[in-house]
Amino acid sequence: MKAARFSRFGGPEVLEIVDLPDPHPEPGQIRISVRAAGVNPSDWKKRAGLMDEELPQTMGHEAAGVVDELGEGVTDVAVGDRVFGLSAEGAAQAELAVLDHYAPIPPSLDFAGAAALPAAIETATRALDQLGVGSGSSLLVNGASGSVGSAAVQLAVARGAHVIGTASPANHDYLRSLGAEPVAYGEGIVERVRALAPEGVGLALDVAGSGILPELIGLAGSPEHVVTLADFAGAQKYGVRFSRGDAGRAVHVLGEIGDLIEAGRFALPVAETYPLAEVAQAHRAGEAGHVRGKLVLLVG
């Protein structure tokens, strides 16, 4: 099969499409013929050598496609089913991918829209679970307009939370459409949040990693009421929880998101799609920033 891989660390130019042996599912896993695979910031961090040291490395943790092989004991899907999900092997940007966690693609979504979901909704749900967000919660999401941030906003609203989200003014109407009250980030953010919530907020989620953990702690009352997805050094310095997948993934959301999508209560836009062969160009677009929604590779 053809797959995205890099054999040295560096810029997007180190990415290549190579032929690799076809993978096969272990017990409890499935294999899909990939139709679309999501692209995430972790991809370019890996490529730049900021995460894992081994070489070479394949790419991709989320994909959507058609089931073409079942591992032993799998009875909840059949060959030919449309599914989306997560691959622990990190090799989903390929013609074939083994999925450890999966769910049927919601009827209203195409493959690209389904491939955009798994990483964003798992990451957002894991953080909301860790914060204990529920009905009546007040939540501040720092960096609310990106794929993970907008997922967190919508999922928190669906739980019955009151959500304030930080974003640039150009994205404020978008946040309102998701059910959040928007505020501009940058200097004076504490005062702007307190204008909407004079008593502060109960909980805060840092998606952006923009160095404002002290302000979030002040607004939420204590470090225990704050989770960050992006500021590892700040989390250590201020005693804030850094959410990472090895503490347990919130894979339950894969089976739950379909009902919200079909009810019109959740949407994650696909910003741009690229053929698998143009994975380097997808990285360039992602690293340049200003992408609202997910970047997705189309396969086959």
pTM: 0.95
Q: Is the pLDDT of residue 125 over 90?
A: yes
Same domain, residue pair 46 and 127: no
The answer to whether residue 261 is domain-embedded is no
pLDDT at 248: 80
Residues 125 and 237 grouped into a single domain: yes
In a domain, 189, yes or no: yes
Query: Is residue 98 over pLDDT 70?
Result: yes
pLDDT of 65 above 70: yes
**Can you spell out the DSSP letters for 51-84?**
S---SSEE--SEEEEEEEEE-TT--SS-TT-EEE
What pLDDT is recorded for position 174?
95
Query: How many percent of the chain have pLDDT more than 90?
Result: 89
Band (53; pLDDT cuts 50, 70, 90): confident
Same domain, 39 and 55: yes
Whether 112 and 63 have beta carbons less than 8 Å apart is answered as: no
Question: Is the same domain home to 87 and 141?
Answer: no
**What's the pLDDT at 244?**
85
What pLDDT was estimated at residue 114?
A: 98
Q: For the chain, first and last CA: distance in Å?
A: 11
Per-residue pLDDT at 290 = 67
Type and span of the H or E element at 293: none
Most confident of 49-58, 91-100, 246-255: 91-100
Higher per-residue confidence, 300 vs 144: 144
221 and 131 belong to one structural domain: yes
For residue range 183-204, what is the model confidence (pLDDT) as tens digits? 999 899 999 999 999 989 999 9
Instruction: Specify the DSSP element, H or E, that contains 9.
Output: none
Q: So what's the pLDDT on residue 165? A: 98
Q: Supply the pLDDT for residue 247.
A: 66
What does the alpha-carbon distance between residue 270 and residue 283 come to, in Å, rounded to a whole number? 15
- Which residues, 6 or more positions from 275, have their beta carbon under 8 angstroms from its beta carbon? 297, 298
In a domain, 69, yes or no: yes
The DSSP string of 234-277 is: HHHHHTPEEP-GGG---THHHHHHHHHHHTTS----EEEEEEGG
How many structural domains compose the chain?
A: 2
| pLDDT for 46 | 92
Name the pLDDT band for 50 (thresholds 50, 70, 90). Answer: confident
CATH number for the domain harbouring residue 17? 3.90.180.10
pLDDT, position 15: 97
Q: Residue 291 pLDDT > 80, yes or no? A: no
What confidence tier does 52 reach under pLDDT thresholds 50, 70, 90?
confident
pLDDT recorded at residue 192 = 96
Among residues 92, 37, 4, the alpha carbon closest in space to that of 296 is found at 37
The domain containing residue 112 runs over which residues?
2-116+269-298
CA distance 240 to 231: 9
Same domain, 185 and 137: yes
In whole numbers, what is the pLDDT of the chain averaged over residues? 95
By DSSP bridging, strand 30-39 and strand 294-298 are antiparallel
> Does 200 map to a domain?
yes
The string of pLDDT tens digits covering residues 30-47 is 999 999 999 998 899 899
Burial (CB count <10 Å: 0-12, 13-18, 19+), residue 287? middle
Whether 209 is covered by a domain: the verdict is yes
Express each pLDDT in 230-275 by its tens digit. 999 999 999 999 998 776 889 999 999 999 999 999 999 999 999 9
Question: In whole angstroms, what is the distance from residue 246 CA to residue 111 CA?
Answer: 27
